[in-house]
């Protein structure tokens, strides 16, 4: 006698798909939780973003001849995406070499955890002349065109 049940019933297929969907959902939730736990630290990311943003300002201030900023530290707060602002200190140090290049070091430190610090250093090779100043022409023996 032949077996009349050759395939799977619709109910068996629906149950199998539901079990697979639950397993995939649990795996996805586990991956998201692992990303939050082992992903980038939001405090360190905020410190790095602040140092990068402030470095652009410091370079703009110090890229002209004669510009100087004394070493300084200021207390501030840094906005965080997930809560209250982070109390931090920003420190700026600049050194000028005999050749005229300027090295700027900027760091941000978390006031609550001194081990969380972001530091960025940049060197300006040759200062530019201040805006609206006259730049002397190079004397190479030829007339300007």
Residues 19 and 48 in one domain: no
The reply to whether 2 falls in a domain is: no
pLDDT at position 124 is 85
Residues 17 and 63 in one domain: no
Residues 94 and 26 in one domain: no
What global pTM score does this model have?
A: 0.60
Q: Which of 94, 88, 135 is nearest to 114 (CA)?
A: 88
pLDDT at position 143 is 52
pLDDT at position 71 is 87
pLDDT at position 65 is 60
Q: Which residues contact 11 (CB under 8 A, 6 or more apart)?
A: none
Residues 30 and 59 in one domain: no
Residues 111 and 65 in one domain: yes
The reply to whether 136 falls in a domain is: no
In the chain, the number of structural domains is 2
The reply to whether 104 falls in a domain is: yes
Beta bridge partners of 123: 103
Low-confidence ranges of the chain (pLDDT < 50): 1
Residues 72 and 119 in one domain: yes
Q: Which residues contact 14 (CB under 8 A, 6 or more apart)?
A: none
Determine the structural domain holding residue 64 and report its residue range. Answer: 42-124
Residues 49 and 120 in one domain: yes
| Separation CA 7–CA 39 (nearest Å) | 46
The reply to whether 138 falls in a domain is: no
pLDDT at position 21 is 95
Residues 30 and 91 in one domain: no
Residues 75 and 16 in one domain: no
Residues 64 and 99 in one domain: yes
How large is the C-alpha radius of gyration of the chain?
30
The reply to whether 143 falls in a domain is: no
């Amino acid at each position: 006698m032949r077996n009349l049940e050759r395939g799977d019933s619709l109910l068996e297929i629906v149950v199998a798909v539901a079990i697979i969907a639950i397993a995939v959902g649990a795996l996805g939730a586990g991956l998201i939780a692992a990303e939050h736990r082992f992903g980038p630290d939001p405090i360190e990311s905020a410190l790095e973003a602040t140092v990068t943003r402030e470095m652009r300002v410091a370079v703009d201030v110090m890229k002209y001849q004669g510009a100087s900023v004394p070493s300084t530290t200021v207390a501030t707060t840094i906005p965080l995406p997930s809560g209250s602002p982070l109390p931090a200190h920003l420190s700026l140090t600049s050194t000028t070499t005999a050749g005229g290049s300027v090295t700027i070091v900027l760091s941000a430190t978390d006031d609550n955890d001194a081990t969380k610090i972001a530091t960025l250093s940049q060197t300006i090779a040759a200062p530019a002349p201040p805006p609206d100043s006259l730049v002397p022409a190079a004397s190479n023996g030829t007339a300007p065109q």
